[in-house]
Chains A and B, each alone.
Chain A
Amino acid sequence: MPGWFEGVFCDLGAAWAIARKDMKIYYLKPSILVSSLLFPFVMFLAFAIGRNAPPGTLLPGLLAITLLFSASSIEPVSIPIERRTKTFDRLLAAPVSVQAIVLGSSLSGAIFASAIGVATTAIGLVAFRTGVIHIVALLLGLALTSLCFSMMGTLFAAYRTENVGEVMSLLNLVRLPLLFISGVFIPLASMPAWGQSIALLSPLTYAHDLIEFAFDGTTQFGPVADTAVLVLAIIIFQAVGALLYQRSRE
């Protein structure tokens, strides 16, 4: 087996081990599961009250927000805690690359958010008596959006602190504005020109567009472009995250 291939194989194995560990410790707690499942319904109420739109049309936006928050909420908490308890040192001392640490930490969030997304979709489809037009686009949307925002959370957790509040404050500085500039609350067409320009920089814009295409076939950029941008965002978050974690140990 060539050396580089063995290296990649070992890194993927280690990343999967980290993801399984995080799932067990952080994601499968009853309190986290219950609050994560309730979150979309709270968001739905916030969404639906005072709006005249049929509830079924709100599902893509609701799903995009659910994926954003479910995927990006745990690692920014768990990594500072692991720094404080020094369990993060175990990852730094092991024969594991920083890429594997970033990927492993993000994978757990992505799997969790995808599962919450599937549950939200299933309940939404039944409750709103609506359907999915493009199932592949929906599955891609769920998986890529979850991984993208999980990596964003892991990236913010690279900020070298043991204080959870510091990371969450920084993350919310980015996460909350994303909701308003990505076409989730306000349709892109209703935004001013400068708002539409900023929206192009947000991965949530493309995630929402892809999910909307899956449900009702309407799209602003096309599913291929949406997928390409989300993949690009994942690659950028992974690369920048690995760089920041590498720097934080120097």
Chain B
Amino acid sequence: MDAIEVIGLTKRFGDNVAVNGIGFQVKEGETFGFLGPNGAGKTTTIRMLTGMTGITSGRALIHGHDITRETLAAKRLMGVVSETSNVYDELSAWDNLVFTGRLYHLGKAEIQRSARDLLDTFGLSERRHEPAEGFSKGMKRRLTLAMGLVNNPRVLFLDEPTSGLDVQSRRLIRDVVQDLAQKDVTIFLTTHDIEEANVSCDRVAIINRGTIAAIDAPEKLKQTFESLQSVEVSFDTTRPGLLEALRALPQVNDVRKEGDKFRLYTADPPEVLGSLCVFAKEHNLRPISVTTLGPSLEEVFIRLTGLSVGMKKEAGGTDAGLV
């Protein structure tokens, strides 16, 4: 049985379709990334999956429990960590955890054991009796994540868990999430940090304008776009018209200037390397550095969501994983 099964999920706000018939499955123990630009429908999707917002049409199942019909049974299996650190500022870290445990109908002993363990894990034990209003942003974020784990969930929904955090808190949260994944907890992660999705997720879905643009493993998505391979070159000097001249080289789809380097996008890096040598000789230029690069998940994301400015249309490439 899938941990999360989504079938034709749609959400309308009046005439506006925020999420338009999306569908996917997440296996038990899988870390599933949900990427998309602002307003793409990520938060609306997570709110529907967690029963915080109603569904216009379609279904969402959490370990087989329909979130609309068996709402409470489905919610008992999940932990939710919102994008905002929504802790009760007036309560202490301890009281925040105890209150959350009571909402999940846990017994007193279980709540106290869980609260103690989580405060230790997230480095909050020493300040457990202080009101959360005096906590730093990182501490509040850690407490938010701890509150999402009080009920020992089988599915954890994380909305931008490390956004805007210091390195220490970021690393701690990342370690805890990876540890949970090893314990077969299913993780549904929305993030703007594409590199985070790249290193943490077994699969990612890219949502744009309410529809799923692609679902696959990060590496497979990268391979989808052959022409996002590139050759990065830096010359000893630069001169006007160089960008246009490089763009005219055979097999080059696009060229971007990035600092003192030029990045030439191509489906055939060896061919471009050969052309570059001839080009440098003809224009009396000396290459200082030359690097060939594979496509990054960020580039795949930009291509799929159409966020790029001035990128040429993908000419070739397979459509594996694209929806």
Contact = CB atoms under 8 A, between A and B. Distances in A.
Interface string B82-107: 10101111110001000110111100
B99 A95 contact: no
Contact of A93 (B54, B75, B84, B87): B75
Contacts of B103: 14, 17-18, 90-91, 94-96
20 contacts: A14-B103, A17-B99, A20-B99, A21-B99, A24-B90, A24-B95, A25-B88, A85-B86, A86-B84, A86-B86, A87-B87, A89-B86, A92-B52, A93-B80, A94-B100, A94-B104, A95-B71, A95-B75, A95-B76, A249-B53
Nearest to A88: B86
Interface residues of B, number: 28
Given A24-B91, A249-B54, A90 B72 contact: no
Interface string B154-194: 00000000000000000000000000000000000000000
Nearest to B56: A250
A43 B51 CA distance: 45
B83 to A, nearest CB: 8
B108 to A, nearest CB: 11
B10 interface: no
B54 A14 contact: no
Contacts of A165: none
B141 to A, nearest CB: 13
Q: Please classify how large the interface on chain A is, using the bins under 10, 10 to 19, 20 to 34, 35 or more.
A: 20 to 34
B90 A14 contact: no
A24 B99 CA distance: 11
Nearest to A85: B86
Contact of B52 (A25, A87, A93): A93
Interface of B: 50-54, 71-73, 75-76, 78, 80, 82, 84, 86-91, 95, 99-100, 102-105, 147
A13 interface: yes
Contacts of B72: 7, 10, 95-97
A250 B147 CA distance: 25
B205 to A, nearest CB: 21
B102 A250 contact: no
Contacts, number: 69
B52 A89 contact: yes
A249 B86 CA distance: 18
Contacts of B99: 17, 20-21
Interface in A72-129: 85-87, 89-97
Given A24-B95, A249-B52, A13 B82 contact: no
Given A86-B84, A90-B100, A94-B104, 4 more contacts: A21-B99, A93-B51, A95-B73, A250-B53
B104 to A, nearest CB: 6
A16 B87 CA distance: 19
What are the nearest 4 A-B pairs in CB distance?
Answer: A250-B54, A17-B102, A86-B86, A95-B75
A14 B76 CA distance: 13
Nearest to B73: A95
A25 B90 contact: yes
Contacts of A13: 102, 105
A93 B100 CA distance: 11
Contacts of A21: 88, 91, 99
A7 B76 CA distance: 12
Contacts of B50: 93
A130 B317 CA distance: 91
B291 to A, nearest CB: 44
Interface string A137-162: 00000000000000000000000000
B82 A86 contact: yes
Contacts of B105: 10, 13-14, 95
A20 B99 CA distance: 9
A33 B95 CA distance: 22
Nearest to A90: B86
B104 A95 contact: yes
A14 B53 contact: no
Nearest to B76: A95
Contacts of A14: 102-103, 105
A97 B91 CA distance: 23
B82 A89 contact: yes
